[in-house]
Structure 1
Amino acid sequence: MGFYKSLSLVALATVGVSQAVTETRSLDQIHQAALKEGGVVTLWHGGSDPHQQDALKNAFEERFPGMTLNVSVRSSSFIGPDIDRQLAAKSVTVDSIFLQTLQDYPRWKRQGVLLNYKPAGFEQVYDEFKDPDGAWASSTINAWSIIYNKDKLIGIEPPATFSDFLKPEFKNKLIFTSPIDDDAVLNTFDLIINAYGVDFFWSLLEQNPRFAPHHLSIANEIGQPNTTYAATFGTTIGLFSQDPLVVHFPTEGAPFTSWAQGAAILKDAPHPEGAKLLHSYVLSQEYQNQTGSWSIRRDVAAPKGFSSIFSTPNTNPLDFAHWMYDRENVERFRFWVQDKIGYPA
């Protein structure tokens, strides 16, 4: 039986919800169980740079001596099909998945391939950011901002809303992550066009922007003093400015994209205790207080100068998931944009 035929059978299968396991052990107790299991966790994490989750790897391995967190970072859109291939072949080598493709989690839950596990601290996670049966619980909150290099905008009013990017002084100064390969970036363009109309898109293209394939390259290009690129939206360097780069979240006009990253353990994970340790750690107050972003927990305050994500103006972290569920709309919009801008260079 071929891969695609096998995959279609997996997709058609609907399995009853198994009883969730609620974690009652301390992190140290789970740590000991994970060491006896082999001390290894394999995580596939959505992202654009292989080293994007080095901070998580280092924090986890330092906190839990003897543990090894093997992290592979690729686009979530590419990871999902590889997970489906492993599931179809009944050969799962991955323990945990932290992905932006939020539409995959309900499907995988229906197929019965996710471990219904409620990590330590699960009760403090906002209800909107977790599955009630424990099939997944979000790990972090991400958001795209406006970013500009203040040193390159001397005498130019910096952009405060997305509509400001159409001002003539920004011609040849704009660079964006291509929305073709990243649904969250695509969502930003959809939000802007819905707010301002399709004429905004045509006018933006007249600014002669560059579309690049990776988020991290965008900030680097803007930060370099010897490039012409001075501003962008639909990417991130975190919540706080990093001189000369200024981070700004628009409070009016088209809303900005924010979402809670999905996180789940595969039911047939080869290292279930290690995976439970990772998820309980990521959901802990200890870790959530050091992410530098909004928290998925009710009892962890937002970083200084910010309100909770649900009180943040001009964004709704739940809208992205609803948008992602409508795959027909997403794919039609992606092909429309691709036809207009081509592939990133």
Structure 2
Amino acid sequence: MVRVIILAGCCLLALVSSGFCLSYGHEPIGIESRSLDAIYQAALKEKGTLRVSWGGDAISNGAGIIAAFTKRFPDVEFNLTVDLSKYHDSRADRTFDTSNGEDDGTDVVLLQTVHDFPRWKKANRLLPYKVATWNDIQSPFKDEDGAFTGCFIGEFGTIVFNDDKAPNDTVPTTYQSFLKPEWRNKLAMTYPNDDDAILYLFTLIVKRHGWTFIDSLVSQNVTWLRGTGTPSELIAKPISQNELAASFAASPSAAAVILTKLPTEDHYVTWPQTAAIFATTKMPETAKLFMSYIMSDEWQADGFPSSGYATRKQFDTDGVLNQTLTNPLGFVTFMQDRANVERWRFQFETTLGTPQGVSPLLNKTVI
């Protein structure tokens, strides 16, 4: 049985240097040798409800895993909460503080905020666990002690467009081309100062094209929105409802009219969405079952967004670490320097103002 909680808050990985070694208050562990069914039987002996914090900015973000996990393990009680990663981590830290270290308010986290995991590991707040598929997870995407692991590759910067409003052969593959007059009033973008991955994308743009690009983009009368799914949902609407036709700062929609293209010259963003078990969990076997399932062949083959990139070697058909226009470890490095992140955030806020609109989890446009 599962109960989904959608929180409307205003919604590691790799140890990028071999010298980045953290003291850890746990004994070395081996790789899981049990089958999913065997772990399931162990989980059934625990009493309570597993709490999972799932990073996302649309109600639908958690739907797939909820349906699949419930079907596969029908007798496990779990709550999956969808909210922005930056609010999940804040709640966990506050609960840990207010409970004097007895609880983190959740058992399993799967988040975009990759900078949290080394910090939590250093504080001995994570329960080490190496899933059965551990050796198939690419080394830069997992902690050597099993404290956390990247579960799938997120991606922003692909060009998203409505084929009815902007036919495929008219949609450019360079960001600078969207500064042409014909794209005025037709672009929808996620606020860079409301999502760290979108923020990182815009830092790459500024480093390549300069601040004049941002000034020119703003002059295109862009529709700026909260939530990475909101632009695509509006772009998917028919021309009778709006003329928004394209974006390069949004996640794609499942709508049939929405197509995507990779940029051919500009750098785009990929990152390892990362998961861990908190050491305060009262349901360690159930937490291990959840981690094992999301890293299993069963879920990896069909469950996560498929772009040809994956943290597991078997499913990383396009080789995310071998690309010239994206570097998933670049985002990890960016996120670790919080002072730099804040400097960039306020640079964009100076130009765009504070993000306007309701939480994307309350926005009825995004399902």
- 1:311: Cα distance to partner? 3.2
- 1:36: Cα distance to partner? 1.1
Change (3 A) 1:277 1:20: farther
Q: Is there any run of 5+ residues in structure 1 with no aligned partner, and where?
A: 1-13
- 1:246: Cα distance to partner? 1.2
Q: Choose which of 116, 127, 134 in structure 2 pairs with 1:115.
A: 127
Q: Distance in 2 between matches of 1:271 and 1:245?
A: 41
More off after superposition, 37-46 vs 175-184:
37-46
Change (3 A) 1:178 1:328: same
Q: Distance in 1 between matches of 2:354 and 2:187?
A: 17
Counterpart contact for 2:153–2:270, Cα < 8 Å:
yes
Corresponding position of 1:249: 262
Counterpart contact for 1:40–1:68, Cα < 8 Å:
yes
Output the TM-score relative to the length of structure 1: 0.90
Corresponding position of 1:281: 293
- 1:292: Cα distance to partner? 4.0
Change (3 A) 1:272 1:77: same
- 1:296: Cα distance to partner? 1.2
Counterpart contact for 1:39–1:274, Cα < 8 Å:
no
- 1:69: Cα distance to partner? 3.2
Q: Choose which of 111, 118, 130 in structure 2 pairs with 1:106.
A: 118
Does 2:87 align with 1:78? yes
Q: Choose which of 146, 151, 160 in structure 1 pairs with 2:164.
A: 151
Q: Distance in 1 between matches of 2:310 and 2:278?
A: 24
Corresponding position of 1:331: 342
Counterpart contact for 2:92–2:105, Cα < 8 Å:
no
Matched residue type, 1:267: A
Corresponding position of 2:53: 44
Count of residues in Structure 1 that have an aligned counterpart in Structure 2: 325
Corresponding position of 2:330: 319
Change (3 A) 1:125 1:155: closer
Corresponding position of 2:197: 184
Counterpart contact for 1:46–1:76, Cα < 8 Å:
yes
Q: Percent identity?
A: 36
Counterpart contact for 1:20–1:118, Cα < 8 Å:
no
Change (3 A) 1:301 1:328: closer
Does 2:64 align with 1:64? no
Output the TM-score relative to the length of structure 2: 0.84
Q: Distance in 2 between matches of 1:68 and 1:50?
A: 20
* Deviation sequence 1:121-173 (CA, Å, 0-9, x none): 11110001000000101111110111011211259821211111111111011
- 1:34: Cα distance to partner? 0.8
Counterpart contact for 2:93–2:104, Cα < 8 Å:
no
Q: Distance in 2 between matches of 1:310 and 1:237?
A: 22
Q: Distance in 1 between matches of 2:140 and 2:173?
A: 29
Q: Choose which of 293, 313, 316 in structure 2 pairs with 1:298.
A: 313
Matched residue type, 2:139: D
- 1:237: Cα distance to partner? 2.2
- 1:245: Cα distance to partner? 1.1
Q: Which runs of 4+ in 1 moved over 3 A?
A: 14-17
Q: Distance in 2 between matches of 1:36 and 1:337?
A: 51
Does 2:161 align with 1:161? no
Does 2:41 align with 1:32? yes
Q: Distance in 2 between matches of 1:102 and 1:155?
A: 35
Q: Distance in 2 between matches of 1:155 and 1:43?
A: 40
More off after superposition, 35-44 vs 186-195:
35-44
Counterpart contact for 1:156–1:169, Cα < 8 Å:
no
SS at 2:126 equivalent:
coil
Corresponding position of 2:8: none
